[in-house]
Amino acid sequence: MSSSLQDHLDQITANTRQLVQSERMAIGERAVAELFASGIEDRILPVGGVAPEFALRDSNGKLVRSADLLAQGPLIIKFFRGRWCPYCMTELEAWRDPHGRLRERGISLVAISPQIERQSDFMVGQHGLRFPVLSDPGCALAAQFGLVYNVPEYHRQYFRSILVNIPFINGDESWLLPLPATYVIARDGLVRFAEAHADYRVRPDPEEALEAAIAALA
């Protein structure tokens, strides 16, 4: 039996625990616990909600409009933190194989993060992604989905210590990030699948969203 996406993510966590000192691991654990306690998971755009329209630029600078994608069929949206996040990249790589099946059925897939286009262009080439990777400046669209949080100062210090320069990657000084999230939007603009976790180490398997997208074809 093949390993699930979550199995691969859990292995990243296990490997990290072996390599990183416990007191440094505790910084991330604190950030996750505080984010969960904020109730942000309960405020995301839910199933049955109306998805906001967007027009965002891909890694080549081309404007991609949700209205154009939905005119072809259902749309899967993957919000992710950035190319610096190994969990995000493992998840997006897991979508490479299903992407072909999606396109055959007229289902579109886009990945969205606050990182600038240059970062996305580098990422697409490095990881062989065949779906559009869109830039969401200042997390403006992610905020409409209820996904945005402000990285606390103690966590910013940790990121700086491991040379993850989020302001440089995102092109602003805000330190805003989205929860990693998966959405399926039907052609009528209604949300058919919505999952986001305060714990960035937890992600739904692509097959779950794929099933929802196929059901949205009916």
CATH number of 5-215: 3.40.30.10
Decide: helix, strand or coil at residue 94: helix
122 to each of 59, 116, 128, how far by Cα in Å?
8, 10, 10
List the helix and strand counts (H, then E) for the chain: 10, 9
Can you tell me the distance from the alpha carbon of 127 to that of 159, in angstroms, rounded to the nearest whole number? 23
Looking at every residue in the chain, the average pLDDT score rounds to 95
Q: Residue 99 has what pLDDT?
A: 86
pLDDT tens for each residue of 21-48: 889 899 999 999 999 999 999 999 999 9
Q: Residue 1 has what pLDDT?
A: 40
What is the identity of the amino acid at 181? A
pLDDT tens for each residue of 82-114: 999 999 999 999 999 888 889 899 999 999 999
Q: Residue 101 has what pLDDT?
A: 86
pLDDT (mean) for 191-203: 97
pLDDT confidence bin for 213, thresholds 50/70/90: very high
Q: Residue 2 has what pLDDT?
A: 52
pLDDT tens for each residue of 138-160: 999 999 999 999 999 999 999 99
For CA atoms 102, 206, 131, 128, the dihedral sign is negative
Q: Residue 83 has what pLDDT?
A: 96
Q: Residue 18 has what pLDDT?
A: 87
pLDDT confidence bin for 57, thresholds 50/70/90: very high
